[in-house]
Amino acid sequence: MWYQLLRRAVVRPLTRLWWPRVENLGVIPDRGGAVLVSNHLSFCDSIFLPVEVSRQVTFLAKREYFVRPGIIGLLWRWFFTSVGQVPVDRSGGRAAEAAISTGVRVVKSGKLLGIYPEGTRSPDGRLYRGRTGAARIAIEAQVPVIPVAMVNTFWVQPTGQRLPRLGRRIGVRFGQPIDTSRWAGMAAEPAAMRELTEEMMAQLRELSGQEYVDIYATKAKELIAAGIDPATWARERSATHGAD
């Protein structure tokens, strides 16, 4: 109840300030589970994306959003719970397995699950290598993967920007669903998960128009902190390995 009320009465009217251009929304199924995989440019991606979908989209949100102290923390918990977010521990190991299990449970129950395969926000607006968790969930649950490209949200609210800026139009572009039946029974096979991940990232690259860098975004953040351009570093590494 709270989800649709907030979406229709509060969030959707606010997002009209950015004149959202939504493309190919009709690929979202009317019922049944699916995994929506999106590039991740901004905190506000988790607002601009689900508000355009009539069905509720559940995200696996960082546990930290639910455990902040005080009144502000209480409001954060209420907000994230009301909009259908599920807290997960992202510390790795058993926590990662628990997150996968939670994702499988969500889509098997017939819901839409939103995931950012890059694992974290892009530090510079580029598209980075996808992690295989989304592919594993989709293969294990045997539900389609629907790529979604967010456009201009990096400009509106890059990492570190507290409030979103006005003045640029947001884009939400849905790609063609990827049928996961060809990987049925292969959820535990790394090659299958990587193949599906590469396919979804290729669609995201085409939909978003972003420059793609074949390293993880977490590594890119380390390089940027050290004053190194991630794309240059990746090219040099590729050339070196190719020579070897």
Q: Report pLDDT digits (tens) over 199-242.
A: 999 999 999 999 999 999 999 999 999 999 999 999 998 888 76
Predicted confidence at residue 184, as pLDDT, reads 96
Percent of the chain residues past pLDDT 70, beyond the cut? 88
pTM: 0.89
In the predicted model, what is the mean pLDDT of residues 6-34?
92
Residue 142 or 12, more confident: 142
- Whether residue 135 is predicted with pLDDT greater than 50 in this model: the reply is yes
- In the chain the domains, ranked by start, together with CATH numbers, are 2-243 (3.40.1130.10)
Residue 175 or 91, more confident: 175
Residue 82 CB: number of other CB atoms within 10 A? 14
Q: To the nearest whole number, what is the mean pLDDT of the chain?
A: 90
Predicted confidence at residue 244, as pLDDT, reads 47
